[in-house]
Amino acid sequence: MGHGINSKRDFQAGTTMGWHQLTRLLKVIGRDVFPEIISVPLWFEIGGQVKQWEGVTVPVSADDGLPVGVSSEESYTVFQPRQAFDFVTETLAGTRFTVESAGMIFNRSRWFLSVHLDELKDVAPEGQQFNLVWSGGLAHNQRPMCVLTAYRAVCANTVAMGREKGQALFAARCTKGFNAKLEGSRAEIESAVGMARIFAATLAGLDTIPATVDKARQVYAGELAEAGADLGSTRSQNSLDDMVTLFRNGAGNDGDDRGDVLNGFTEYFGRGIAGGTKDKFSRWASSEFGASAERKAGFLRDIAGSGWDRLEAVGKAALADARKATVTV
């Protein structure tokens, strides 16, 4: 895909230099880094006469008077980058954050905004950080989206990675109902940021408590047994083996602490044993999102507290019963 900073109109402003070495370095990134986008009437000439196409407009960048998108009818809502900037800063009011990167690419037909959540720095996994990344298109080429991700957006590639691997908090097409959906997403974004804080802090504590392969297997077995699984069945045994494998070799895992136990469990229910693309950072999302959200949240509560001993005991007994049943057969 490339970085997308292809024309003289394209830009990326940031507090640090991006990998593409094209960053416009600024100490502070404000909303004015983006040009104002205005919708102007569409006129056309035919037979020597200039006529207006009623009900159709074109988004134009106010600083150079050139279009940044394609013509749209009244039913299409133009969500411009300054609006995204205002929405993010209003939603995060009261928290500590830094706008680290912003830009417009592909002849300004797409835009992005990357915000670092400063107050989560101390609880983020080592070498990673929490970012809210907004991105969207002005030419019907990319619906506006907000994701919580480990990636700082500085170009088309990093935006694409964030949209693919991050936790989507908002995404909607620019139809008449867009503004209502956007306003309704405030609570979800606020909740996600707060939940990330709690989950990351809990995870940081779990990473300091040792765990062995045998203990991990017993705890996993206890959870499966309490969920009604037959530990003697091939299916349950395969699930158990997969979780243990992820405990030892999952994304970012070393197989030696309770944080790895949690990751093995959430990674299994999040994407299975093979073919996954999410990084270690994405563990936080599994306690709130996904088809197995409540189950994963319950497992987190258990292993972060006194439930660990209960699951270990239940799992040990269930595994013993399964072995006895196999010998009897």
Query: Where among 193, 226, 250 does a domain terminate?
Result: 193
Q: Are residues 250 and 122 in the same domain?
A: no
Q: Is residue 272 part of a domain?
A: yes
Radius of gyration over every alpha carbon of the chain, rounded to an integer in angstroms: 25
Q: Are residues 216 and 317 in the same domain?
A: yes
Task: Provide the pLDDT for residue 323.
Answer: 86
Q: Are residues 217 and 161 in the same domain?
A: no
Q: Contacts from 131-134 at CB under 8 Å and sequence distance 24+?
A: 131/100, 131/162, 132/88, 132/92, 132/97, 132/169, 132/189, 132/193, 133/159, 133/162, 133/163, 133/166, 134/81, 134/84, 134/87, 134/88
Q: Are residues 117 and 223 in the same domain?
A: no
Count of domains forming the chain:
2
Task: Provide the pLDDT for residue 116.
Answer: 92
Q: Are residues 183 and 275 in the same domain?
A: no
Q: Are residues 260 and 180 in the same domain?
A: no
Task: Provide the pLDDT for residue 100.
Answer: 96
Q: Are residues 150 and 298 in the same domain?
A: no
Q: Is residue 98 part of a domain?
A: yes
AA letter at 32: D
Q: Is residue 40 part of a domain?
A: no
H or E element at residue 111: strand 110-116
H or E element at residue 21: none
Query: Where among 159, 193, 227 does a domain terminate?
Result: 193
How far is 326 from 64, CA to CA, in rounded Å? Answer: 76
Q: Is residue 54 part of a domain?
A: no
Task: Provide the pLDDT for residue 270.
Answer: 62
Query: Where among 162, 193, 224 does a domain terminate?
Result: 193
Q: Are residues 124 and 17 in the same domain?
A: yes
Q: Is residue 122 part of a domain?
A: yes
Q: Are residues 89 and 217 in the same domain?
A: no
> Tokens representing 234?
């091939």
Domain that holds residue 91: 11-32+78-193
Q: Are residues 214 and 317 in the same domain?
A: yes
How far is 100 from 91, CA to CA, in rounded Å? Answer: 17
Q: Are residues 219 and 89 in the same domain?
A: no
Task: Provide the pLDDT for residue 178.
Answer: 85
Q: Please answer whether residues 68 and 164 qualify as being in contact, where contact means their C-beta atoms are separated by less than 8 angstroms.
A: no
Q: 10-residue block means of pLDDT along the chain (329 residues)?
A: 88 95 96 94 90 90 93 82 93 88 96 89 69 91 88 92 84 84 82 71 83 95 93 92 91 86 82 46 49 73 89 94 73
Q: Are residues 149 and 231 in the same domain?
A: no
Task: Provide the pLDDT for residue 275.
Answer: 43
